[in-house]
Structure 1
Amino acid sequence: MTHTTETHNEQDHTLRQGLAAGTSIGASILLLTVGALSLLEGISAVLDDEVFVAGPEYVYAFDLTTWGWIHIVLGVLLVIAGLGLVTGAGWARATAIVIAAVSIVGNFLWLPYYPWWSILVIALNVVVIWGVATWRPLRD
């Protein structure tokens, strides 16, 4: 009877290890994707792309170039956190959650300039936060 219980525990442990690894890889890939999107968004804004339009009464109005640099910095930080998650760095989990949350706020403030892009990046950040927060690495 103990052999069956040990086998079941080993299989359960292996399954949980696989799920944890899959979740961490998925969150890492999404974080890298969000970072790349933010970088592209920032570069587009810095180069004064005519895609972006804001109404004259926007409360959080910065110069388009300023918004571009904000998104470039956020993108770089998101990519660094994503690479940290890929490598399994201990600091990466908390950093990824904090930077993704800051990215959500930044994209919320960016909504009037490019709403669909902002909504996409906000949604991806929410998924990243959920994935990283629910991932429980198992120790051997």
Structure 2
Amino acid sequence: MTAKKGGTVMTGVVVFAGSLLGVVGLVNVFQGLFALFSDERLVVTRNHLFVVDVTAWGWTLLISGLLLMAVGAGLLAAQTWARITGIVVVSLHAVIQIFWLGAYPVWACLMIALDVIILFALTVRWSGVREQLGRGDEPAWNGHDDGVPAAERRTTPMA
């Protein structure tokens, strides 16, 4: 399933990544809201009792969840910026989840595994994109204008 839309290739793998990003982002939003509204937790260890304020953690989860959902929506809308942004945001999300390992090891491992699946989905089809766009015969841009006026330069359409 491929279709050209907005200067990029929409494949089933990208739709999968966008959908999964939306779900993971929504879960983070709910976690963040829950942490904001019940911002004190009791942590009991063998020798100590701690009262932990999780307001900052709630804001972190809420913001990262909204960002993940926005990138997921961008992927589903076939925006070219969403793929690179998705790779960066999902990588940061995996690092953020490492901080949950002490409190919720199973949940943190599940979220990190989902992040790895999303990263795979965002990077697996990278090599054939130029050919699928019909631009495989063009040389890659070297970063220089080579004296060609802007009106004559071939540019990708903005979505």
TM bin, normalised by shorter chain, reads 0.7 to 0.9
SS of residue paired to 1:111: coil
Partner of 2:96: 106
Deviation at 1:135? 2.4
Runs of 4+ in structure 1 over 3 Å off: 49-55
Residue 53 of structure 1 contacts residue 112 of structure 1 at CA under 8 Å; is this kept in 2?
Answer: no
Residue 18 of structure 2 contacts residue 76 of structure 2 at CA under 8 Å; is this kept in 1?
Answer: yes
Give TM-score, length-normalised by structure 2.
0.66
Matched, 1:95 2:89: no
Partner of 1:139: 133
Matched, 1:28 2:22: no
Deviation at 1:43? 1.3
Residue 64 of structure 2 contacts residue 93 of structure 2 at CA under 8 Å; is this kept in 1?
Answer: yes
Write 1 or 2 for the structure with the bigger share of strand.
2
Letter in 1 for 2:23: T
Alpha-carbon distance in 1 for matches of 2:32, 2:118? 20
Rg: which structure is higher? 2
Q: How many pairs does the alignment contain?
A: 119
Change (3 A) 1:131 1:53: farther
Q: Deviations over 1:79-136 (max 9, x none)?
A: 0000000001010001011000110011111222322222221111111011001124
Residue 38 of structure 1 contacts residue 72 of structure 1 at CA under 8 Å; is this kept in 2?
Answer: yes
Change (3 A) 1:99 1:88: same
Unaligned stretches of 5+ in structure 2? 4-9, 46-51, 135-159
Partner of 2:63: 73
SS of residue paired to 1:105: helix
Letter in 1 for 2:117: V
Alpha-carbon distance in 1 for matches of 2:25, 2:44? 23
Amino-acid identity (%): 33
Q: Deviations over 1:43-95 (max 9, x none)?
A: 1211227888586xxxxxx8411111101000000000000000010100010
Give TM-score, length-normalised by structure 1.
0.74
Alignment root-mean-square deviation, CA? 2.6
Residue 40 of structure 2 contacts residue 53 of structure 2 at CA under 8 Å; is this kept in 1?
Answer: no
Higher RCO (CA < 8 A, seq sep 6+): 1
Unaligned stretches of 5+ in structure 1? 1-14, 56-61
Deviation at 1:37? 1.1
Residue 46 of structure 1 contacts residue 68 of structure 1 at CA under 8 Å; is this kept in 2?
Answer: yes
Alpha-carbon distance in 2 for matches of 1:98, 1:77? 11
